Amino acid sequence: MPEYETIIYDVLTPGIVKIIQNRPFARNALDLQMTYDLNSAFDRAAQDDEIKVIILTGSDPHFSAGHDLRGDGGKKLQEDFSVVGTWTGFENDGAHGRFAREREIYLDMTRRWRDLPKPTIAQVSGKCIAGGLMLAWACDIIIASEDAMFQDPVVVMGVCGVEFFMHPWELGPRKAKEFLFTAEWWTAAEGYRLGMVNHVVPREEIEDFTLTLAKKIAEKPLFALKMTKKAVNQTLDTMGQQIAIDSVFGLHQLCHSHNEKIYGIPIDPAGIPQTDKKDKRSN
């Protein structure tokens, strides 16, 4: 079985696996290692016929702080991991390398997880920020605890939302604009009201609630579950979701190029938290 540095792969009960993001010292921010650890764990769960439902969560207290702007101190390069796409050329200068890198680890990877054939449940407590939203949105069902808070603040970094642009699909167009324009924190209750969150439960009950739901799903035949998930995702794709996300990814890259020209880095430095100023290659 593979070893993971940054996640825990925990088979809770026959048919159900919980994948736990485990970088609590970084509020579970997603670095390269965790991106590829998650991908490996998702593949393992997808390829194991004994697994029918995948729960994704974060080690307490937060689900995800998004992409780790501090990077990993340059210890590992993209080429140190098993690349999933064919674009490559990550170390090229300018837009070339950045496009390749962001496409691999943000756009293509998130789509890959969104298209996992088995039902996935995001169990969200605490903060879920920017790239963390991409993770939750890639899942089929979102269960949030009452203390969960959601935010995409990248407009203050000079960028038009995170790379996997699901906001209008998750929130509706008007609320998506407000969410992005203001960069404010929204509650689990608001996420529920808008249809982004399936259920809001007390924090002390979220483990049991999510497992009970997962068990109900796991009782169903696997092929029918796979086909049902595909039917819904295929409907969204027919509505243009995939093409819309791809096209907005181009705007996102234009924002990075603009910031690079103006500030010498791909994001507006005014939006970088003080603690995150060591590595500013991407967001």
Interface ranges with Zn ion (CB under 5 A) = 102
- The residue among 232 and 251 lying less far from Zn ion, judged by its C-beta, is 251
Within 73-140, where are the H helices? 94-102, 109-114, 131-138
* Smallest distance, Zn ion to C-beta of residue 163, A: 5
Rounded to whole angstroms, what are the CA distances from 221 to 115, 218, 226?
18, 8, 9
Select 102 or 170, whichever has its Cβ closest to Zn ion.
Answer: 102
With the CA atoms of 204, 120, 196 and 232 taken in that order, what torsion angle do they form, in degrees rounded to the nearest 10?
A: -150
Supply 196's token pair. 């982004």
Cβ of residue 254: shortest distance to Zn ion, in angstroms? 11
| Residue 87: CB minimum distance to Zn ion, A | 15
Could you tell me which of 149, 134, 187 has the C-alpha nearest to residue 62? 149
- Nearer to Zn ion among residue 199 and residue 281 (C-beta): 281
Distance (Å, whole) CA 17 – CA 218: 11
Residue nearest to Zn ion (CB): 102
Report, in Å, the least distance between residue 154 CB and Zn ion. Answer: 8
Residue 71 vs 172, nearer CB to Zn ion:
71
Residue among 103 and 229 whose Cβ is closer to Zn ion: 103
Q: Minimum distance between the CB of residue 101 and Zn ion, rounded to whole angstroms?
A: 9
Q: Where are the beta strands (DSSP E) in the chain?
A: 7-13, 16-21, 53-58, 120-124, 127-129, 141-145, 149-151, 186-187, 199-201
